[in-house]
Amino acid sequence: MLATISHNGQSYQIDFSKPMDISISLRGDHKNPVAWYLKHPEIKPVKDGDFIGKVSEGASVNFNNIWFNPHAHATHTECVGHISEEFHSIQQHLKSFFFKAKLISIEPEKKGQDQVITRQLLEKKSGNLDCDALVIRTLPNYIGKISRQHSHTNWPYLEEAAAIFLREKGIKHLLIDQPSVEKEKDDGKLLAHKAFWNYPKNTRFDATITELIYVPNKFQDGDYFLNLQPASFENDAAPCKPVLYKILDQ
């Protein structure tokens, strides 16, 4: 289904019949990605006395409990409530769900034992940021990201100056294929989160960060439209299924 979308006075055509999913599905086993030192998620049938909520074991329906943490186990979108003392819900602060986006691939810069996405790298790779959202695919990129055990790996992260650059360029929605925009062990400084949200002095409540995405190599760098619609959780973060749509006739 073709549709015409307007952004900053310009019209773009996209095909809604060809979505490009960049989320990671949540599984109830060790093949699920894991971060922050938790065990893998669990998806298990309800048990109540003799009842087991599984059709193959005699129930009329499959009836599962699901245990997971959005920050550790799933593609998730978070608001400033992730770092604020006051409660802020992603459900209350994200009010629109369709944005012009740019996908870029970046090989982080090695600094000692760290892999860092610097301001200079973003300036070089991002070009004209005439968009609301930026999707970062880190290199090397490989299918194993969908089941990677991230704990104690010192994953790539954004330096504070890089987050400030994105804020200054008007990027409202940042998506990345790592468990966090922060260094895994940063002593609670959260410099990139604070810089991107401009917290606490002039907080951007409508800005979001989406982590633990996976962008297949077949998706080329460039401009897209993004559907970003987290599940309806009253929480600082919620599982999300970000979907890209190619802009036609580029």
> 225 near 5, Cβ under 8 Å?
yes
Residue 153 lies inside a defined structural domain of this protein: yes
Q: Is the pLDDT of residue 7 over 90?
A: no
Q: Is the pLDDT of residue 1 over 90?
A: no
Residue 15 lies inside a defined structural domain of this protein: yes
pLDDT of residue 5: 87
Mean pLDDT value across the chain: 97
Query: CA neighbours within 13 Å on the CB side: how many for 249?
Result: 7
For the stretch 113-166, pLDDT in tens is 999 999 999 999 998 899 999 999 999 999 999 999 999 999 999 999 999 999
Please give the average per-residue pLDDT across 34-57, as a whole number.
97
C-alpha to C-alpha distances, 60 to 28, 49, 51, 52, 238, nearest whole angstrom: 22, 16, 10, 10, 30
Q: What angle do CA 26, 29, 31 make, to 5 degrees?
A: 75
Residue 32 lies inside a defined structural domain of this protein: no
Q: Which domain holds residue 233?
A: 2-24+74-246
Q: Is the pLDDT of residue 50 over 90?
A: yes
Residue 37 lies inside a defined structural domain of this protein: no
Q: Is the pLDDT of residue 3 over 90?
A: no
Residue 42 lies inside a defined structural domain of this protein: no
Instruction: State how far the Cα of 30 lies from the Cα of 110, in Å rounded to an integer.
Output: 30
Q: Is the pLDDT of residue 250 over 80?
A: no
pLDDT of residue 26: 97
pLDDT of residue 6: 85
Residue 62 lies inside a defined structural domain of this protein: no
Residue 192 lies inside a defined structural domain of this protein: yes
How many structural domains are present in the chain? 1
Q: Is the pLDDT of residue 23 over 80?
A: yes
Query: CA neighbours within 13 Å on the CB side: how many for 184?
Result: 18
pLDDT of residue 144: 97
CATH for 134:
3.50.30.50
For the stretch 196-247, pLDDT in tens is 999 999 999 999 999 999 999 999 999 999 999 999 999 999 999 999 999 9
Please give the average per-residue pLDDT across 28-39, as a whole number.
97
Residue 19 lies inside a defined structural domain of this protein: yes
